[in-house]
Structure 1
Amino acid sequence: MNELESRRNEIKQQLCQLGQYMLNRELAWGNSGNISARLSDNKMIITGSGTDMGQLSPPDLVQVDIESREWEGTLKPSKEIPMHAEIYKHRPDAQAILHASPFWSTMMSCTNISYKSELFVESMYYLERVAYVDYFHPGSHELGAAVGKKSEDANIIILKNHGVIVFDSSIKEARMALETLEMVSRMIITAQIGGISLQALSSEVSADFLNNAGYKPRRTY
């Protein structure tokens, strides 16, 4: 087994574990959503069309060429290839992409409520750059192009009336970004319902944390 084959097998195992993790923590449901990881500069591994996120096995994952969008094997990949491919093309640092419709974050996508990142440590880091994309039909080239453009300036993209897409430097970091987004979404909506005013930290404190606290290296993109 060569190095590329070994990496392909490892990525498939990690994505299968991620799908189960997302289902168990209500970050995914049924066959909604799709996840991928970069295999090489021009290849990605993505969930197949109609696959159940909580019951993924390696045959449910498809290798796709990022540029041509052609795939290997007989299983058709997720129709959301345009979003994934455009992010990988625009962001060479992206190693994993999660597209999901968790309850609280999807509810937020159906409102005009904006996110606050300056609430607590994880939100300051993972939600520093949140972008918004208007509704386009799932799998459309228009959606892919809009997401690709927004990905130049953000690691979390809210798809209006659709769900969310997050990406990061590893599967673990992308998962943490999605979990943080869902936590903040729940906090914001619960506060709205309860008439609670969330007290955000100042932009100066947030900037000082990102630059000097040593939590994680600040993103350069």
Structure 2
Amino acid sequence: MNRLELIKELQQTGSFMMNNQLAWGTAGNISARLDNNDFYVSASGTYLGELEYDDFSLCSTDGLVEGKKPSKEFKMHQGIYEQRPEINAVLHASPFYSTLIACSDIDLPNNYFVEAMYYLEKVVRIPYKHPGSVDLAEVVTEHAKEGNVMLLENHGVIVYDVSLKEARMALQTLEYTAKMHITALKNGVNMQGLSNETVHDFIHHSGYKPLRNWGK
């Protein structure tokens, strides 16, 4: 994929997130890998639903290469790309129900339905660090190999995957599952999740999607 195609898909991803209530205001930032060392990330202060071509910064392991000032949280993206060479897209946002769970002591189940079993196989909780801080970037980088979904306590979520398409699906699955779980708790619905054995069998033997290697 060339630069123009990649930026176009990033623009479409930002619109998708806004249109599906997965992001709001100027909160959140998104990125996609261009090559082994470089990635495009949304610039500081941009509105994800109306991203223009020049609303992206090209960054590398050495910092800003060209374009506007990147989101102050670009180092989180950088750390994930460095730790997970197979990852090509990172989405950071604060969708309502997922962020509600990130701000609480509620566990997020992954055994309700097919997509949840796959995309939420491993969800990592990250303790609160100030947004945009070096401390947050360091702890995200440290735990990047442990899963593809992070709940940032009192902040939001990070989802990353092999493509923007897969990352969008993972983020939507995360929010859908969180909404289902909170709704069930609120209404006293007794959810019947699948057993650990069934989840393991599905992930390893159903052929639904490739097995995760978690950066190993």
TM bucket (normalised to shorter chain) is over 0.9
Would you say 1:68 and 2:69 are equivalent positions?
A: no
- 1:136-161 residue CA offsets vs partner (Å, 9 max, x unmatched): 01111110111111111100000000
Query: 2:86: which partner in 1?
Result: 93
Query: 1:153: which partner in 2?
Result: 146
Aligned AA (1:145): E
Give the counterpart of 2:8 among 8, 13, 22: 13
Q: Which runs of 5+ in 1 are unaligned?
A: 1-5
Aligned AA (2:109): K
Whether the aligned pair in 1 keeps the contact of 2:57 and 2:64 (CA below 8 Å) is no
Aligned AA (1:69): G
TM-score using structure 1 length: 0.95
Q: How does 1:118-133 map to 2 (within 5 A)?
A: 118-133=111-126
Please give the secondary structure, in 2, of the residue aligned with 1:70. Answer: strand
Aligned AA (2:63): R
- 1:188-213 residue CA offsets vs partner (Å, 9 max, x unmatched): 11111111121111111111111111
Distance in 1 of aligned mates of 2:31 and 2:25:
17
Please give the secondary structure, in 2, of the residue aligned with 1:40. Answer: coil
Aligned AA (1:25): N
Distance in 1 of aligned mates of 2:181 and 2:144:
24
Question: Identity percentage over the alignment?
Answer: 47
Query: 2:167: which partner in 1?
Result: 174
- 1:165-220 residue CA offsets vs partner (Å, 9 max, x unmatched): 00000000000000000001001111111111211111111111111111111112
Aligned residues: 214
The offset of 1:8, in angstroms, is 1.2
The offset of 1:48, in angstroms, is 0.4
Query: 1:3: which partner in 2?
Result: none
Query: 2:130: which partner in 1?
Result: 137
Please report the RMSD computed on the Cα atoms of aligned residues, expressed in angstroms.
0.9
TM-score using structure 2 length: 0.97
User: Following TM superposition, where does structure 1 have runs of at least 4 consecutive aligned residues deviating by more than 4 angstroms?
Assistant: none
Query: 1:192: which partner in 2?
Result: 185
Query: 1:216: which partner in 2?
Result: 209
